[in-house]
Structures are given as C-alpha cells and as structure tokens.
C-alpha cells in the first residue's frame, strides 16, 4: 500500500483524476491511498492567509513558513516516516528510475506551492525537490498528479496484465516500447508489418527488439 498525502489549496483540481481510471482502481484494490490536507486550514489570521510579500521587494507573493510547517507536521505527527516532496521547476528532473525507487516506499507528502514561490526556509522540511521539466507551471498540482500516476502504475497489481509495467517502455533500463498494432490488418493502406502476423515468436521478438526506441 502506497499513500500520498497532498497538501494543497486546490483539492478540486486533483480529485477528478485520482478518482478515475487506474488511480481509482488502485484505491479500490487497496494498493494506494490518496489523502488531502487543505493548506488554508493552517493559514494565519482571520483570512487564514498562507502567503506574504517577499523581503527585499519584488513581484508576487510567497508561501509562508508557518502554514506549511504546521500542515506538514500535522501529517508527520501521525506518520513520522512520511517523506516530503516539493514540486518545483528548480528540482531534480523526474524520470522513470526515480518513479521506480519511489514506488518502493510507503508514504509521501506532496506540498503543492502556488503563487509566485515559497519562503526558502521551507526547503529545510523537504526531502525531495522534483521538477517535471524546464518550464514553469502555475502550481504544484499537475506535477503532483504526474508523480503520483507514474509511481502508482508501477505498484504490482495496478495495471491489468501482470507484466504490463515490467515489459513496457522504460522499465528495463532505457528501452522505449516497440511499435504495436491491433485490428484491422490494413487501415487505409497502412499495413501491419508481416512478421507480426507470422506467428513466429522468435522472429517477432527479434523485430520488436530491433524496433524498440532508446532514450537519448
């Protein structure tokens, strides 16, 4: 069982995805659990403020330390072993090997920043800074979903075929999936390669090996 506790101001942006398709199935089968913490509940003052202007000036608002620390500590009080992930464009670029490693642990807290950034001291409570790529998103929710999806699908029993995740793209090193075809044999003149119709398993395996992509 893997658990993700997501600290966010926008639970409604996350829920539809996590309640659909394979993520829903993983929960139903007791293989994954998703929990939400509303950062607003840890906000300060009558407006439950979670952000403030930067010292030294500059545009935008930054996530404040107090609500973030209090929210994370409320989760860690129940499970001190939970590891904290911060999606940030300056983190380590996420890849399949990291997804495989993460799939072996039990409880992650994902802090979804919003606004223009966060107080640097927040990093002292973070275990992993993760970037989804060299572009800037408005918040951590989309990265959280991508991290969760890529990890949960590797949990044995989540995908349909026992070995789907094992034989598929990336899983045995840097092999990308080979091209695949289903019916019809001829679609608008585009034909399925003859070897795949041959029933010769040795030749098929060879063809697939030859046509597997490689990551740069």
Binding interface with ligand ADE (CB under 6 A): 87-89, 131-133, 135-137, 140, 143
CB of 141 to ligand ADE, least distance (A): 9
> Residue 147 or 165: which CB sits closer to ligand ADE?
147
CB of 113 to ligand ADE, least distance (A): 7
Per the CB < 8 A criterion, the answer to whether 61 and 53 are in contact is yes
Comparing every residue's Cβ against ligand ADE, the nearest one is 87
> Residue 8 or 88: which CB sits closer to ligand ADE?
88
> Residue 133 or 157: which CB sits closer to ligand ADE?
133
> Residue 54 or 184: which CB sits closer to ligand ADE?
54
CB of 48 to ligand ADE, least distance (A): 23
> Strand locations in 61-206, DSSP E?
62-63, 83-93, 107-111, 117-118, 128-131, 186-187, 190-191
DSSP string spanning 18-77?
Answer: HTSHHHHHHHHTTSEEEEEEEGGGG-BTTTTB-EEPPTT--SS-EE-HHHHHHHHHHHHH
> Residue 90 or 197: which CB sits closer to ligand ADE?
90
CB of 93 to ligand ADE, least distance (A): 9
CB of 18 to ligand ADE, least distance (A): 18
Quick one: which of 185, 166, 186, 168 has its CA closest to 177?
Answer: 168
Give the separation between CA 44 and CA 48, rounded to whole angstroms.
Answer: 4
């Amino acid at each position: 069982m893997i658990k993700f506790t997501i600290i966010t101001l926008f639970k409604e942006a996350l829920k539809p995805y996590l309640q659909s398709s394979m993520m829903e199935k993983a929960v139903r089968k007791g293989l994954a659990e998703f929990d939400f913490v509303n950062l607003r509940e840890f906000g300060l003052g009558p407006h439950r403020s979670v952000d403030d202007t930067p010292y030294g000036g500059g545009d935008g608002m930054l996530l404040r330390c107090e609500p973030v620390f209090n929210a994370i500590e409320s989760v860690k009080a129940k499970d001190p072993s939970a590891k904290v992930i911060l999606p940030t464009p300056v983190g380590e670029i996420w890849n399949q090997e990291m997804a495989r490693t993460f799939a072996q642990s039990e409880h992650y807290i994902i802090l979804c920043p919003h606004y223009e950034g966060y107080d640097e001291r927040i990093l002292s409570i973070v275990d992993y800074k993760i970037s989804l790529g060299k572009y800037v998103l408005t918040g951590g929710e989309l990265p959280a979903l991508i991290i969760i999806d890529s990890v949960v699908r590797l949990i044995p029993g989540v995908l349909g075929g026992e070995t789907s995740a094992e034989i598929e793209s990336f899983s045995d090193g840097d092999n990308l999936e080979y091209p695949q075809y289903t019916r019809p044999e001829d679609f608008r003149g585009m034909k399925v390669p003859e070897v795949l119709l041959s029933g010769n398993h040795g030749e098929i395996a060879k063809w697939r090996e030859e046509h597997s992509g490689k990551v740069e």
